[in-house]
């Protein structure tokens, strides 16, 4: 097993990884930017290294500094968390070349899945359904328009290197197409340094269903059930739950088998997620694979009573997965992402000092956060400050627990999305499980503060 793991991340996920290491008995190294000096992950780690100024490109994204920090502290492995360098093949490669284990898949696996067009091709090869679209990237607008007409409008133009909901443009009809196509290309180029885009059919009311994947170096690849992440704002997830209200045992078996086949196609090692869209007519399509731990991984952990981060670490060290059969489900689990943002102002970030902080508690409530009273939410990074995860015997109990947890979670000093999330818990359509990725766009009342 590893002796010392450097966590190349910040915030709640850095804390999460440090906890997993401590449980196994591994020493930890925290890295931090000048803006994160007061962060909890720094206090909880055995060692810590400042890696640069606040902007991520000068600190958390600087590969040489991370490698140097690992070498100075004698770390023999690096856990990348999510975001930042978690899906950067060059980083994985550099770690290995420096004799430091990368806790995640191989650089090659990251590369294939990081290119959405290449990933679609790999999935087609093993018979996993993909959203109808162009076989690869297209450069010429007229050629792309030809494809779009064949597929049928509306279509979505996506950056091959895309992620985090960026570099995607919808075109309703042929008139709109040329403009959307150029916009998507220039957005892709500036956000990812790669202007490749492809075109696929835009499903009008799909659900986002993703499968948790685990693979080891002994050829085992399994799925650990699905998560329904259909409640989104501008293609970004806000609420995730499992089991999905739309997935029964039969569909779970079919979609799960497709997800495992997709991951097996590249001999996947580590924790990953196969994201799919489930259409109203019950057809499902591979969308992309995330080759890292996800924000919403606690949903699966609580539902099945497993520890995905410990599995990740053990598998990277060469161990076998600790289970190969899907464990028994424990009721229903739901997660809300609490962001320091103002929903009534189009989710504008609200950084600043947290003056009062009273966490929720009670049976079935898990809180993953790096925030505390006196903590300053820096303006430089993602605005997520906590994840509340609630489990119940059934969906109704989980939802009620979440509603109460959000109401009793007191944060003063910054505006948060909690009152908004609590309103979603009370929404009749949401309660009935009747949601798709366009749900929030239709329910505009949810954004208004009650008088
Ligand atoms: P990213 O990598 O930026 O997260 P994804 O490919 O995972 O992008 O897509 C994010 C979200 O965008 C999905 O959850 C879904 O809401 C929406 N989306 C993506 N592709 C389509 C599509 N073909 N039809 C409808 N919605 C889509």
Which CATH number covers residue 139? 3.30.1490.20
108 belongs to a structural domain: no
124 belongs to a structural domain: no
- How close is the Cα of 208 to the center of ligand 1, in Å? 8
Ligand 1 atom 17, closest CA: 235
Containing 314, the helix (H) or strand (E) segment is helix 308-316
pLDDT confidence of residue 199: 95
- How close is the Cα of 228 to the center of ligand 1, in Å? 13
Rg from Cα positions in the chain: 21
Q: In this structure, are 197 and 217 located in the same domain?
A: no
Name residues whose C-beta falls within 8 Å of residue 154's C-beta, 6 or more positions apart in sequence.
Answer: 170, 171, 172, 173, 201, 202, 204
pLDDT confidence of residue 450: 78
- How close is the Cα of 297 to the center of ligand 1, in Å? 19
Q: In this structure, are 214 and 158 located in the same domain?
A: no
* 290 Cα nearest atom in ligand 1: 2
Ligand 1 atom 21, closest CA: 202
Query: pLDDT of the chain along its 451 residues, tens only?
Result: 999 999 999 999 999 999 999 999 999 999 999 999 999 999 999 999 999 999 999 999 999 999 999 999 999 999 999 999 999 999 999 999 999 999 999 999 999 999 888 999 999 999 999 999 998 899 999 999 999 999 999 999 999 888 777 889 999 999 999 999 999 999 999 888 899 999 999 999 999 999 999 999 999 999 999 999 999 998 899 999 999 999 999 999 999 999 999 999 999 999 999 999 999 999 999 999 999 999 999 999 999 999 999 999 999 999 999 999 999 999 999 999 999 999 889 999 999 999 999 999 999 999 999 999 999 999 999 999 999 999 999 999 999 999 999 999 999 999 999 999 999 999 999 999 999 999 999 999 998 887 6
Chosen domain end from 174, 201, 228: 201
* 116 Cα nearest atom in ligand 1: 6
227 belongs to a structural domain: yes
- How close is the Cα of 436 to the center of ligand 1, in Å? 12
Residue showing tokens 């294939």: 112
Contact 299, 227 (CB under 8 A): yes
- How close is the Cα of 199 to the center of ligand 1, in Å? 12
Q: In this structure, are 67 and 170 located in the same domain?
A: no
Residue showing tokens 């206090």: 43
Q: In this structure, are 160 and 273 located in the same domain?
A: no
Chosen domain end from 201, 223, 247: 201
pLDDT confidence of residue 404: 98
What's 248's domain CATH number? 3.30.470.20
* 164 Cα nearest atom in ligand 1: 3
Q: In this structure, are 297 and 230 located in the same domain?
A: yes
Ligand 1 atom 8, closest CA: 165
What's 80's domain CATH number? 3.40.50.20
- How close is the Cα of 395 to the center of ligand 1, in Å? 26
Q: Which of 120, 164, 198, 235 to mutate to test the pocket of ligand 1 (most atoms within 8 A of CB)?
A: 235
* 287 Cα nearest atom in ligand 1: 6
How far is Cα 331 from Cα 397, in angstroms, rounded to an integer?
Answer: 9
Task: Tell me how many domains the chain contains.
Answer: 3
Active site residues: 292
Q: In this structure, are 160 and 216 located in the same domain?
A: no
Query: Residue 169: which of 82, 235, 254 has the closest Cα?
Result: 235
How far is Cα 313 from Cα 275, in angstroms, rounded to an integer?
Answer: 23
- How close is the Cα of 290 to the center of ligand 1, in Å? 13
Q: In this structure, are 311 and 440 located in the same domain?
A: yes
* 229 Cα nearest atom in ligand 1: 14
Tell me the CA distances in angstroms from 196 to 83, 159, 294, 391, one per residue in order.
Answer: 21, 6, 25, 42
pLDDT confidence of residue 10: 98
Q: Which of 163, 165, 285 to mutate to test the pocket of ligand 1 (most atoms within 8 A of CB)?
A: 165
- How close is the Cα of 137 to the center of ligand 1, in Å? 17
pLDDT confidence of residue 344: 86
Structure tokens at 189: 């180029």
pLDDT confidence of residue 185: 93
Contact 201, 133 (CB under 8 A): yes
350 belongs to a structural domain: yes
Query: Residue 32: which of 50, 53, 17 has the closest Cα?
Result: 50
Q: In this structure, are 150 and 94 located in the same domain?
A: no
How far is Cα 383 from Cα 145, in angstroms, rounded to an integer?
Answer: 37
Which residues, judged by CB distance below 6 Å to any ligand atom, belong to the binding site of ligand 1? 131, 156, 162-166, 200-203, 206, 208, 232, 235, 275, 277, 287-288, 437
User: Domain residues for 218?
Assistant: 207-447
Ligand 1 atom 13, closest CA: 235
Q: What is the pTM of this model?
A: 0.96
156 belongs to a structural domain: yes
Instruction: Give me the residues paired with residue 78 across strands.
Output: 6, 102
125 belongs to a structural domain: no
Q: Which of 287, 289, 382 to mutate to test the pocket of ligand 1 (most atoms within 8 A of CB)?
A: 287
Q: Which of 83, 202, 277 to mutate to test the pocket of ligand 1 (most atoms within 8 A of CB)?
A: 277
pLDDT confidence of residue 135: 83
111 belongs to a structural domain: no
How far is Cα 32 from Cα 10, in angstroms, rounded to an integer?
Answer: 7
Q: In this structure, are 256 and 302 located in the same domain?
A: yes
249 belongs to a structural domain: yes
Q: In this structure, are 305 and 184 located in the same domain?
A: no
* 131 Cα nearest atom in ligand 1: 23
pLDDT confidence of residue 451: 67
Ligand 1 atom 18, closest CA: 235
Q: In this structure, are 320 and 355 located in the same domain?
A: yes
Chosen domain end from 157, 185, 201: 201
Q: In this structure, are 228 and 306 located in the same domain?
A: yes
């Amino acid at each position: 097993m590893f002796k010392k793991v450097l966590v190349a991340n910040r915030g709640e996920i850095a804390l999460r990884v440090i906890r997993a290491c401590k449980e196994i008995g591994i020493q930890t190294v925290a890295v931090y930017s000048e803006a994160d000096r007061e962060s909890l992950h720094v206090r909880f780690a055995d060692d810590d290294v400042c890696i640069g100024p606040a902007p991520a490109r000068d600190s958390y994204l600087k590969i040489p500094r991370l490698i140097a920090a690992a070498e100075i502290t004698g770390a023999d492995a690096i856990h990348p968390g999510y975001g930042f360098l978690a899906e950067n093949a060059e980083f994985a490669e550099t770690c290995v070349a420096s004799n430091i284990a990368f806790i995640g898949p191989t650089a090659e696996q990251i590369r294939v899945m990081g290119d959405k067009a290449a990933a679609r091709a790999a999935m087609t090869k093993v018979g996993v359904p993909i959203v109808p679209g162009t076989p690869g990237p297209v450069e010429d607008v007229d050629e792309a328009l030809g494809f779009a007409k064949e597929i049928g409008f509306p279509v979505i133009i996506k950056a091959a290197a895309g992620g985090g909901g960026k570099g995607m443009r919808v075109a309703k009809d042929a008139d709109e197409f040329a403009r959307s196509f150029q916009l998507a290309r220039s957005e892709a180029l500036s956000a990812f340094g790669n202007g490749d885009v492809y075109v696929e059919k835009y499903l009008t009311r799909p659900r986002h269903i993703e499968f948790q994947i685990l693979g080891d170096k002994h050829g085992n690849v399994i799925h650990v059930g699905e998560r329904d992440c259909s409640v989104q704002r501008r293609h970004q997830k806000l609420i995730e739950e499992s089991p999905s209200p739309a997935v029964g045992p039969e569909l779970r078996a079919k979609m799960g088998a497709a997800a495992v086949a997709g991951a097996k196609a590249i001999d996947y090692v580590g924790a990953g997620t196969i994201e799919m869209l489930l259409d109203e007519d019950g057809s499902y399509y591979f969308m992309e694979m995330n080759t890292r731990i996800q924000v919403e991984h606690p949903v699966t952990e609580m539902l099945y009573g497993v520890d995905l981060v410990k599995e990740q670490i053990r598998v990277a060290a060469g161990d076998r997965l600790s289970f190969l059969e899907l464990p028994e489900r424990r009721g229903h689990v739901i997660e809300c992402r609490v962001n320091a943002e103002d929903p009534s102002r189009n989710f504008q970030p609200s950084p600043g000092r947290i003056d009062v902080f009273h966490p929720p508690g009670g049976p079935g409530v898990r809180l993953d956060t790096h925030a505390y009273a006196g903590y300053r939410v820096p303006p430089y990074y993602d605005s997520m400050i906590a994840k509340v995860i609630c489990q119940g015997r059934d969906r109704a109990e989980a939802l009620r627990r979440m509603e109460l947890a959000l109401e009793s979670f007191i944060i003063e000093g910054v505006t948060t999305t909690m009152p908004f999330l609590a309103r979603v818990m009370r929404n009749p359509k949401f309660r009935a499980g009747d949601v798709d990725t366009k749900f929030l766009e239709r329910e505009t009342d949810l954004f208004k503060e009650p008088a």
